[in-house]
Each structure stands twice: as C-alpha cells, then as structure tokens.
Amino acid sequence: MTSFKRIGITVKTGLDHKDKAVSSVIEILKGLDVKVCVDSERIGDLGCAEGLDKMNEIKDIDLLIVIGGDGTILRAVREMKDFTIPILSVNWGTVGFLSEIDIEEAAEMIPRLLQGEGVTEERGILHVSALRDGVEIFNGSALNEAVIAQGTIARLVNLKTTVNNESLTNYHADGLIISTPTGSTAYSLAAGGPVVYPTLKAMILTPINPYSFSQKPIVIPGESEVEVEVSTKENKFQDTEVVLTIDGQIYIPLQRNDRVKAHINSETVKFLRRKQDTFFATLRRKLKWGERATP
C-alpha cells in the first residue's frame, strides 16, 4: 500500500519523446493503488493521458511527479499552490542535479518510494518582491536564486544593499545573485560563491564581477530581509538596462530607484528522496566534486 493516493504528473515543455516519457511513468502508476492526474497544459493532449483527470493547478494531490530536468523542477515549484505537496523528480536526458531518479530506474524506484522507502527532504524557498515608487511590480518565489544584473549593455550597475535595514554595501558590479542553499550549486557557484548544504535556512549574496576586490560572497541567516536598490546614475543609456531574473526563467526589467526585497519563506519545498543518497554523493557524481583534472 502507498500513502500517496492522488498523484499529479507534469513534464518539461517541449521534451523530446514526451509521450514515451509520460506513458512509461503512467504505466508504472497504473500498477499501484493510486489515482493519476496530469498537467492539462503540457500532458492533456497526449494519447497516454486519455481518461485521466486533468490538473489545472498544482494542488489537491498527495505527490507531484516532475519529468524533465532542473528547469522543469524550478518551474513546477513556482506554480505550486500548496507547498505541503512533496515532489518526486524523474530525470529525462539531462544532468538533473535536483532530480532524484533517472527514467531508466523509474520502474523499480517509483513503487519503492511510494510504498514508504523514501524520506522527505525540505528546502528553503526565496520570496522575492520588486517595488517601483512604492508600488509592487513583482511578487514571487525562487528555488534557486534571484539575480539583479545589467541587461543588454555591458556596464557596471550600482546596487545599494541593506540587510535588516542595516547598510551592507553598495555593489558596483555586473550584478548581484541572491541565492538559496539549493541554488548555491547553480549560478552562484559559477560566480565564485560557496557551496552551502541545501537544507540550511540561509541566503547567499554573491556579487558578479565586483569592481572592488573586498566585495566577496557572504552567507546570512535566511530570516534576514535583504533589500537592493538600483542606484545606477542617469546616463545616456536607458534605466531599464537592469533586469531582475528569477531562477533564470522570469525576467522583470528594472529602473533606477526600483527596490528588490528578498527573504527565505517560512514554507519549504518537500522532495521525496531515496534514503541512501546524500548531498555529498550528488556533488561527487554530478559535479565531479574533488576529482583531479585530467590533462
């Protein structure tokens, strides 16, 4: 018996061989005592979904199975209406750093995980808002990071940053990454930020190519309130050449004097994972952590 009775499935938009990927997971679930609901926008038109309930929003289910890669997981988290629903991620043809199982092992692992052999891991979500003249122009969540950076023209931007209303610094840089521990192995790591254990409640502030050598990445408590003001001076270039990016998927043009606020949400994202895997094993396997470079 499984404690998950109503299972939703979503998939990467434009996934190669999408019908094959989804049908293979549906066939596995048909052998279990569960009700299957499919993402109406991305799966509803597939032949394998005929006769199944359609899921217009990610809610009213016991488990969400995400088929694709990390980008699909990031999108699914942003669309969730209920963060108590755990996610089981099935990797299809990508590195899949956040994914739990590969499609080749789905037939063995999905029944085992649904029947109680897995563990639930909780990870923090970044809550982000942007304000212009006191009016909110964006409000949303990020599993990996929010990035405030120059747009199409390569010019340094000034980002006046405070933590809990106390001045931190005025970054003069290509931009600033505000990352969760989950996102510490993504863009923040590429920009020189530290790897942070994913279940910690923390934020990582990583400047992108700062002009000052003293402005290094910093890890702060997740309950802190970070505020960043776009304080770039007027020049012949448009003010909108600064952009707020959420998980690399949502883009909000910013203007001079706009403010971005961020903190780690009180709610967490739940991932269903196998017991024997650890974060360190994932680092070694998928990032080749600690391996000696070959000539």
Residues acting as catalytic residues = 70
Whole-angstrom Cα distance, residue 22 to residue 10?
Answer: 9
Please, are residues 52 and 38 in contact by the beta-carbon 8 Å criterion? yes
Whole-angstrom Cα distance, residue 259 to residue 159?
Answer: 9
Please, are residues 107 and 28 in contact by the beta-carbon 8 Å criterion? yes
Please, are residues 171 and 180 in contact by the beta-carbon 8 Å criterion? no
Token digits for 61?
A: 């289910």
Whole-angstrom Cα distance, residue 96 to residue 71?
Answer: 9
Please, are residues 181 and 122 in contact by the beta-carbon 8 Å criterion? no
Whole-angstrom Cα distance, residue 152 to residue 199?
Answer: 35
Whole-angstrom Cα distance, residue 25 to residue 97?
Answer: 20
